[in-house]
A and B are shown apart, each in its own frame.
Chain A
């Protein structure tokens, strides 16, 4: 019996097969030629959607004789798979093309200047003091700090500088309106404060601001920073000091620098030494920077005077040790090639921002 489809078309096996193949060919061609992903998606719905043309064609299967149905079913499956594959291919091609177009459109001139990121800098004097502390820290030296408004006794008397001692001329002092107080002229009073608060073995480092009655010029400042070092134990010798300072010179100014000790004078050390490093400018051959001596003095030091130990409450018969003191700006000058101390406190950002 022959049934009529809703479309009134006559359904037979060959016709249905032809129709399916035509639909497949149309889908393959359309998927290839679609101009955009959206057009492709629309086509896919039209051909393969629930109410799409394939569905319509397949309705005709029911009108076929039962023996023909499996054959047509197989052909229909093939056609449907081919159509889906065609659309998938088309979609992939289109996506690649569209992404390519987007990336092309998004291209910028990558050689333009960046968007600046703000950058701050740390002050070279503070950084140098910290560097000194870090170097000595590797040798077990511990940072202490003391007051800047100091009493006369700790700043001078206990450091073996009695009142009216001619050595006081070495420290032009700023006095304050607090009885028996002054602005510390050096970090050395910290030696006394450390000895009074810690027992040997002592390895102490005392960085801080100091003050002098000193007219300001390229090489003098009324406010400046020092770092004091103190090491006290039973067998601490001048040789230990030399060894340690040699290490410091290497760490600060590079390996292979020649160094020397020569006699110095401080009332609070005995013996006292000056520590010289081979001139960083001329390498020792002599130049104006080193007054043609080939050497630059970077710090003063010595064995802690027994009087100072006694004021610190330490028995000089049992213990001995060394102290050293250095001007941070001087170390920084040599480190960074700065020739004028005033630059450090002028705080011209054009100077400071060089210290990255």
Chain B
């Protein structure tokens, strides 16, 4: 809320600098977000007195004025306005002046006459809405004074929290200032002077939806002359961020800023009479499809959840949100009906959201209204209309529900307040602090109850042996309902610096495993291997989701939710680019590669730990994945090394590194030529188990299909990607190593060159060796692949180094026997032969 300080001072004395006031309000919970020097934009604009106004010698529509600004010779200034006369005081922009919006004023020649500056309109200064006439200043304004000294102001931008609708008003903020400084709040005079025929004779009001409109107060002002408001009013409204319209409309807006009470005014002549001949207002739900042209000249079709203010013929406006065009107060208006009502906050909020219409008025209605303000607001508005627009206020009000609730009470235990805050404030001190907010209090009666909570079921306790206090809550503080609310009021009026800084000394919870352990081990391992971690959006475009969907998603391990359900869409996305939740990480990582390649980056080696999301019916699923993407040089060319590009073997190496780190077996590889986004000849599934044989890692690894690289403009020739499901990513512990002493007996090594058909996978050879090797075989590693003479054209030789060991010295015979067994198995199962 914008708070012009000069206006605030109408309601409370402030003996503080604007900065001090801003800090006090902030420390009170009314955070001042900004402090604007209103008028700081006027440079070199001073008060001048018109000495003479004469016709311009060569232009009928211009005047030639002589103006004194105090010192020096009077200035000749050419002016186009017609509202000026000698003797008036006016704002003069001297040559070199700068006006709001950065407009510079220089000495210029206008139709043969030199003009030494400019006389300013209120609009040019952004002081009033009047763009036609020159702003006429008070006769008492000191000639030569800088205008900023006369009409400058400081405007505070106060962030009023949603629970404090009462403070969305100058009177409410004046109460806060008073609580902080001890000053007194001054209410404005609200009673209008009443004359003539009573309002009851002139107007009828019927509320047909009392659930949505608990009170409707109307006033009648007759014989008004609609015109611009006094300059002073316009200046205040503009500083408060409200555009001046006319004296009648401005009066209602003025009261909204002043009291926080939204008011609407109608042209009484536009309200159709009811059966008894009186103009009649009906508050009802709209008929389905009922038309209404609103003040913004939009033709709307209403729905039956909408509360309208109507006459017997048609809707006149949407209650609490926006008026209708037909009953708008205009220049021809003579009689005005003032509406000051209390509407259901939820209904107003929903209606505003439905129509996409939220105004200063509806924001206040949404936060709830103090009931008595309906009466006071109507009175005050009628009084101001009569003051600014002339006219007569008809005696009395139409009031559909004049009863005004009394103050509620809240009972609290000062000891509990101290226990919440960690303070030792005496009961008297707590009561004194509350009284500064208008909460009068006394010792609680034995049967007073303390409300601890209201929802989901009320928790109300006896005061017991504790000393308790019952406070009367001012009607505007509907937000104070439970004991904890009182604690907050006490703390904020006292100042939060009363809260001590102590270290918790209460019992500790029992041990709980850290769910980040495995995830962080994986992240550290990958960073150590030269990959950089990225964080990308979980919300992606449908195109990316579809474009990188795996035909066969990587299955979850370790009991996590499985992928493969339906995608989850955002129903109100900010943009299509971020409108669906991703189900894997590959698309996002590809985008990061594209971004970095566009920046001219050669090598990109990245990983991300993130979630995939889907739904199974109305159930949502989330699963963690590790994504890896590699492109460009793994080793860059340097004087001492050749360039080497990332390839699938690197990705497999990274998978094996993780298996090693996490204590899993060496992963098993299986070709996967069927993923459309991957290179059919360079893609695989890698799976690894823990020592118990449980699958702990499942993954897809491969090169992106060249079509995908082209379609997504990744600007690189090859991209190696992997997506892994890993047990523990979602929360798990590192498993302790089971160690064994190093072997005391030397191992025996044998090399075995296995000749197989070209299409035979290396993994199948390794499998047969492993399965047939027996207890003595410790490892078998492929160290060479040979093709060419003397092998046949469709043959290759896979040379393995076999390592045999046992807890004793091996004999040549038993090793020979194991090798023979392996050779036999290779021959029988794979048709392989040995090359010697």
Residues of A within 8 A of B (CB): 112-113, 115-123, 125-126, 130, 133, 137, 139-140, 142-145, 147-149, 160, 164-167, 169-170, 174-179, 181, 183, 198, 201-203, 209, 211, 213-216, 222-223, 231, 233-240, 242-244, 246-247, 260-265, 267, 270-274, 291, 293, 303, 305-307, 309-311, 316-317, 320, 344-350, 352-353
Contact partners of A242 in chain B: CB under 8 A: 422, 499-502
- Enumerate chain A residues within 8 angstroms of B452, measured Cβ to Cβ: 306, 316-317
With A346-B595, A347-B534, A347-B535 given, can you name 8 additional A-B contacts, CB distance below 8 Å?
Answer: A113-B639, A118-B634, A236-B504, A238-B420, A239-B422, A265-B163, A271-B421, A348-B599
- Inter-chain CA distance A239–B503, complex, in Å, is 8
B638 touches A113 (CB 8 A): yes
Which chain B residues (213-260) contact chain A, with CB distance < 8 Å?
none
Of B484, B615, B620, B730, the residue contacting A271 (CB under 8 A) is B484
Q: Is the CB of B502 within 8 A of A203?
A: no
Q: Which 5 A-B pairs have the closest CB atoms?
A: A239-B422, A118-B530, A263-B29, A237-B422, A271-B488
Which one of B484, B497, B508, B730 has the greatest number of beta carbons of chain A within 10 Å? B484
Which residues in A have their C-beta under 8 angstroms from that of B500? 239, 242-243
Check A238/B29 contact, CB under 8 A, given A164-B349, A310-B459: no
Contact (Cβ within 8 A) B571 A177: yes
- 6 A-B pairs (CB sep. < 8 Å): A120-B529, A174-B539, A243-B500, A317-B461, A345-B537, A349-B601
Kindly state the separation between the CA atoms of A293 and B33 in the bound complex, as whole angstroms: 10
Q: Please measure, in the bound complex, the distance between the C-alpha atom of A106 and the C-alpha atom of B484, giving whole angstroms.
A: 81
What is the CB-to-nearest-CB distance from B560 to chain A, in angstroms, rounded to a whole number? 12
B618–A179 contact, CB under 8 A? yes
Contacts of B534 in A (CB 8 A): 123, 347, 352
Contact A121 B532 (CB under 8 A): yes
Task: Assess A246 versus B501: contact at CB under 8 Å? Given A167-B162, A178-B618.
Answer: yes
* A176 proximity list for chain B (CB < 8 A): 568-571, 581
Q: Is B162 in contact with A307, judged by CB distance below 8 angstroms?
A: no
Task: Decide yes or no whether B491 CB sits under 8 A from chain A.
Answer: yes
Count residues of B near A (Cβ-Cβ below 8 Å). Answer: 106
- Give Cα distance in the complex from A92 to B500, angstroms: 80
Is B130 close to A, CB under 8 A?
Answer: no
With contact pairs A122-B533, A126-B533, A350-B599 given, residues A231 and B539 touching in the complex (Cβ less than 8 Å): no
> Chain B contacts of A122 at CB under 8 A?
523-524, 527, 532-533
Q: Does B264 contact A (CB under 8 A)?
A: no
Q: Which of B26, B499, B508, B581 has the most CB of A within 10 A?
A: B499
CA distance A165 to B29 in the complex (A): 20
Q: Which residues of A contact B363 (CB under 8 A)?
A: 166
Contact A244 B503 (CB under 8 A): yes
Is the beta-carbon distance between A345 and B599 smaller than 8 angstroms? no
Pairwise interchain contact B27-A352, C-beta atoms closer than 8 A:
no
Q: B27 touching A118 by the CB < 8 A rule?
A: no
- Confirm or deny: B402 has a beta carbon within 8 angstroms of a beta carbon on chain A: no
Docked complex Cα distance between A174 and B539 (Å): 11
Q: How far is the CB of A2 from chain B (nearest CB, A)?
A: 63
Q: Are A349 and B596 CB-contacts (below 8 A) given A120-B530, A130-B520?
A: yes
Chain A proximity mask over B485-503: 1 for CB below 8 Å, otherwise 0: 1011001100011011111
Tell me if B403 is interfacial: C-beta within 8 Å of chain A: no
B584 → chain A closest CB, angstroms: 15
The residues of A that contact B163 with a CB separation of less than 8 Å are 167, 265, 267
Roughly how many angstroms separate A164 CA and B500 CA in the complex, as a whole number?
37
**A344 neighbours in B (Cβ, 8 Å):** 535
With a CB–CB cut-off of 8 A, which chain B residues contact A303?
420, 484, 487
B789 contacts partner chain A, Cβ-Cβ < 8 Å: no
B3-60: which have CB < 8 Å to A? Answer: 23, 26-29, 31, 33-34
Known A120-B527, A265-B163: A143·B516 in contact at CB below 8 Å: yes
Say if the beta carbon of B313 comes within 8 Å of chain A.
Answer: no
CA distance A54 to B453 in the complex (A): 115
Are B503 and A271 in contact (CB-based, < 8 A)?
no
| Chain B residue contacts of A140, Cβ below 8 A | 508-509
| Closest Cβ neighbor of B569 among chain A residues | A177
Q: Is the beta-carbon distance between A222 and B533 smaller than 8 angstroms? A: no
Judged by a CB distance under 8 angstroms, whether B742 is at the interface is: no
Chain B nearest CB, measured from A318 CB (Å): 10
**CB-CB under 8 A for A270 and B611, given A176-B581, A236-B504, A263-B27:** no
Residues of chain A within 8 A of B638, CB atoms compared: 113, 115-116
In the bound complex, do residue B506 and residue A201 qualify as a contact, i.e. CB atoms below 8 Å apart? yes
Other-chain contact of B508, A117, A203, A353 (Cβ < 8 Å):
A203
Q: Given the complex, which residues of B lie within 8 Å of A233, measured CB to CB?
A: 506-507
* Nearest A residue to B504, CB-CB: A240
In the complex, what distance in Å separates the CA atom of A30 from the CA atom of B348?
A: 116
Kindly provide the distance from the CB of B799 to the nearest chain A CB, expressed in whole angstroms: 29
Instruction: Check if B504 sits within 8 Å of A143, measured CB to CB.
Output: no
Q: Does B516 contact A270, Cβ atoms closer than 8 Å?
A: no
The 8 Å CB contact of A305, one of B484, B515, B516, B731, is: B484
Q: CB within 8 Å of A: which residues of B?
A: 23, 26-29, 31, 33-34, 161-165, 345-346, 349-350, 363, 366-367, 419-423, 452-457, 459, 461, 482, 484-485, 487-488, 491-492, 496-497, 499-504, 506-509, 512, 514-516, 520, 523-524, 526-539, 568-574, 578, 581, 592, 595-596, 599, 601, 604-606, 609, 611, 613, 615, 618, 620, 622, 634-636, 638-641, 730-731
Which of chain B's residues has its CB closest to A315's CB? B459
CB contact under 8 A between A263 and B28, given known A164-B349, A348-B596 = yes
How many angstroms from the CA of A264 to the CA of B620 in the assembled complex? 34
Q: Does the CB pair A236–B506 fall under 8 Å?
A: yes
Q: Which residues of A contact B639 (CB under 8 A)?
A: 112-113
Contact A307 B454 (CB under 8 A): yes
Q: In angstroms, how far is the closest chain B Cβ from the Cβ of A133?
A: 7
A239-B501, A347-B534 known; A130+B516 contact, CB < 8 A: yes
Q: Which residue of B lies closest to A352 (CB)?
A: B532
User: Whole-angstrom distance between the alpha carbons of A252 and B116 in the complex?
Assistant: 60
Cα distance A293–B349 when bound, in Å?
Answer: 34
A201 touches B569 (CB 8 A): no
Does the CB pair B497–A261 fall under 8 Å?
Answer: yes
**Contact residues in A for B456 (Cβ distance below 8 Å):** 307, 310-311
In the complex, the answer to whether B523 meets A215 with C-beta atoms within 8 Å is: no
Q: Within 8 Å CB of B484, what residues of A?
A: 270-271, 303, 305-306
Nearest to A266 among chain B residues (CB) is B161
> Looking at the complex, which one of B455, B499, B504, B535 makes contact with A307 (CB distance below 8 Å)?
B455
Question: In the bound complex, how far is the Cα of B349 from the Cα of A167, in angstroms?
Answer: 11
How far apart are the CA atoms of A311 and B500 in the complex, in Å?
29
Contact, CB under 8 Å: B595 / A348: yes
Find out whether the CB atom of B509 lies under 8 angstroms from the CB atom of A148.
Answer: no
Complexed CA–CA distance, A267 and B349 (Å): 18
Considering only CB atoms, which chain B residue lies closest to A117 in the complex?
Answer: B530
For the complex, what is the distance from the CA of A267 to the CA of B534, rounded to whole Å?
A: 34
Q: Within the complex, which residue of B34, B367, B609, B615 is in contact with A178, where a contact is CB–CB below 8 Å?
A: B615
CB-CB under 8 A from A126, the residues of chain B are 523, 533, 535, 609
Which of A133, A143, A347 touches B606 (beta carbons < 8 Å)? A347
Q: How far is the CA of A144 from the CA of B516 in the complex (A)?
A: 9
Closest to B619 in A: A178
Minimum CB–CB distance for A256 against chain B, Å: 14
Chain B residues near A118 (CB, 8 Å)? Answer: 529-530, 605, 634-635
Other-chain residue from A167, A244, A264, A310 in contact with B453 (beta carbon distance below 8 A): A310
CB-based contact A181/B529 at 8 Å: no
Chain B residues contacting A139 (CB-CB under 8 Å) are 503-504
Q: B30: nearest residue on chain A (CB-CB)?
A: A263
Q: How far is the CA of A245 from the CA of B16 in the complex (A)?
A: 31
CA distance A119 to B613 in the complex (A): 31
Query: A326 to B125, alpha carbons, bound, how many Å?
Result: 43
CA of A148 to CA of B349, assembled, Å:
27
Bound: A1/B536 CA distance, A? 110
**How far apart are the CA atoms of A238 and B421 in the complex, in Å?**
5
Tell me how far the C-beta of A300 lies from the nearest C-beta in chain B, rounded to whole angstroms. Answer: 11
What separation, in Å, do the CA atoms of A45 and B699 have in the docked complex?
68
Whole-angstrom distance between the alpha carbons of A53 and B574 in the complex? 102
